[in-house]
Structure 1
């Protein structure tokens, strides 16, 4: 009796492995693109003021998003009755937070910025409890507490406790993470029926115009002083980080469970720390490694649904 697999079974197995390989590659692309975003911002604001840098990034990304709406035949405008939500997304998700991130990175390393922003899913959890009345389990509260203690120790170990500019930078980045956390929860509450492409396209275009015009008025940038390296960073942020990362993330949403995909927020800070330390010639201290590990592990715990742990506890 032959024990060899039938050709159709072999083809099915090959397709299965190919699908897994493609998913792994896409996951790695998202982690790399988002992990390098923070260094891109750092390079951009070397010679471009933060308001102008954020605006130019979005103006570069907008035509590509607009093309996506045409190719995918998605509506450009939010549904009727969502004008208030549209204004919040434009200002509270794109305009203000990305200015805060750019401004914060003028005083904080790109790796630390990524670590600070990795707290964003924790704020999602908190806002979900307050606005959506979702239950927070005790182990999640424990993870949040230990995680933020580790974050405080990271800030202290980096010497920012004596630097007011550094503390302001940290506050700006955390404020951006809080606003993004609130935006995700309000989107779940009021914008679940809005296409992801529609959600991004017009708000990112308007935010680009608002930030750039405000930058021209307040910052008065001298374009002759913008380095080629900063221009390259802006193009990278606009095309690869904003549009490319978005497309790949959108594809992965159809391939992976949200809980698995959410661990991108745990992986990209590690990439950002390594790349940022290399570019900025900063040694990665043992304290940073230890506290970063604790921080990311605790934030990872907060992502696990309570019913999952309960079910596993009962099984044991």
Structure 2
């Protein structure tokens, strides 16, 4: 009986790279849409509407792909926990952070998601931290710091508002990281990802509705077509298209490397802001973006060898 070494998997593998770029491009665009959602509608109600739409669309996707709707008791519990951290805590933290700081600052700070993902992946999943990954992360961190400083200097927010917004963003980062590491766990990986996400989004939407009703009162909504168009875009394109791809990447390459999409996202957001909002680049922001991309390219070379497979 011989041992066959499976092919190594990295972010440069086409089946990983294509979803990685697609997720980064879409999530880079969502910051502009979220910015428009921050109005007279309380953030928790906007999050509720988003995931009511997303849950309905995800169940429709499951039906189209002829996937089972039912989970066992453990599956429902895991979906509930996932919905709590990913689709309740995470997004409420992010939307509320944008009440105090700009979407650019939130997007840049969220690029640090790779750090807790890598650390929690090491603690709970035993994933190794390779030299290219650590080196790339260090380079990207310098670029992120430069982007953050540029955004901070351009922001009209006071220091107290920036600190509060940063604290809320950090809460969102940690909530998302817990959900990310859960997806890489063997128990959750045994369930169909779309079915789990459908239930997680439904549970998240129900929790959001309950929390919203208790904390800010009955539903509040806008009549603007742009507001509801944004809800549909965030629910379908920004959630149903992206989360199955992103969580599939986590299952394949681990939460640390998958979170490198968060490094690309603010750069995409800044490019789109340049096109649609007249964003003006400076030497500091351009240098930070270049360093972030260099760090990303270095980390792209880090590979995660698959375990040896012994054929029968």
Distance 1:128 1:39, change over 3 A: same
Q: Secondary structure at the match of 1:191?
A: helix
Deviates more, 1:174-183 or 1:188-197: 174-183
What is the CA–CA distance in structure 2 between the aligned matches of 1:214 and 1:64, rounded to whole Å? 22
Shift of 1:81: 3.1
> 1:110-133 deviations in whole A, cap 9, x for unaligned?
333333223323322111111122
> 1:69-121 deviations in whole A, cap 9, x for unaligned?
22223233443434543332021121100111111223333333333223323
Number of equivalent positions: 284
Report if the CA contact (8 A) 1:111-1:277 is conserved: no
Shift of 1:28: 6.0
Report if the CA contact (8 A) 1:110-1:273 is conserved: no
Q: Which residue does the alignment assign to 1:182?
A: 178
Report if the CA contact (8 A) 1:58-1:205 is conserved: yes
User: Structure 1 stretches of 5 or more lacking a match?
Assistant: 1-19, 309-316
Q: Which residue does the alignment assign to 1:201?
A: 198
Report the structure number with the largest CA radius of gyration.
Answer: 1
Distance 1:171 1:77, change over 3 A: farther
The equivalent position to 2:48 in structure 1, one of 55, 58, 72, is 55
What is the CA–CA distance in structure 1 between the aligned matches of 2:141 and 2:263, rounded to whole Å? 14
Structure with more helix by fraction: 1
Q: Which residue does the alignment assign to 2:7?
A: none
> Aligned ranges for residues 128-207 of structure 1 at < 5 Å?
128-157=121-150, 158-159=152-153, 162-189=158-185, 190-207=187-204
Deviates more, 1:91-100 or 1:158-167: 158-167
Q: Which residue does the alignment assign to 2:117?
A: 124
Report if the CA contact (8 A) 2:104-2:270 is conserved: yes
Q: Does 1:108 align with 2:101?
A: yes
Report if the CA contact (8 A) 2:23-2:246 is conserved: no
Q: Which residue does the alignment assign to 2:68?
A: 75
The equivalent position to 1:231 in structure 2, one of 228, 233, 236, is 228
TM-score of the superposed pair, with normalisation by structure 1: 0.75
What is the CA–CA distance in structure 2 between the aligned matches of 1:164 and 1:300, rounded to whole Å? 35
Q: Which residue does the alignment assign to 2:28?
A: 35
Q: Secondary structure at the match of 1:74?
A: coil
Q: Secondary structure at the match of 1:40?
A: helix
Q: Secondary structure at the match of 1:57?
A: helix
Q: Does 1:96 align with 2:94?
A: no
What is the CA–CA distance in structure 2 between the aligned matches of 1:307 and 1:170, rounded to whole Å? 32
Deviates more, 1:28-37 or 1:153-162: 153-162
Q: CA RMSD for the aligned pairs?
A: 3.4
What is the CA–CA distance in structure 2 between the aligned matches of 1:192 and 1:23, rounded to whole Å? 17
What is the CA–CA distance in structure 2 between the aligned matches of 1:198 and 1:42, rounded to whole Å? 30
Distance 1:48 1:198, change over 3 A: same
Report if the CA contact (8 A) 1:65-1:200 is conserved: yes
Shift of 1:266: 4.2
Q: Secondary structure at the match of 2:128?
A: coil
Q: Secondary structure at the match of 1:108?
A: coil
User: Structure 2 stretches of 5 or more lacking a match?
Assistant: 1-13, 306-312
Shift of 1:51: 0.6
Shift of 1:54: 0.6
Report if the CA contact (8 A) 1:49-1:221 is conserved: no
Q: Secondary structure at the match of 1:47?
A: coil
Q: Does 1:272 align with 2:265?
A: no
Q: Does 1:295 align with 2:280?
A: no
Report if the CA contact (8 A) 1:111-1:276 is conserved: no
Q: Which residue does the alignment assign to 1:65?
A: 58
Q: Secondary structure at the match of 2:74?
A: coil
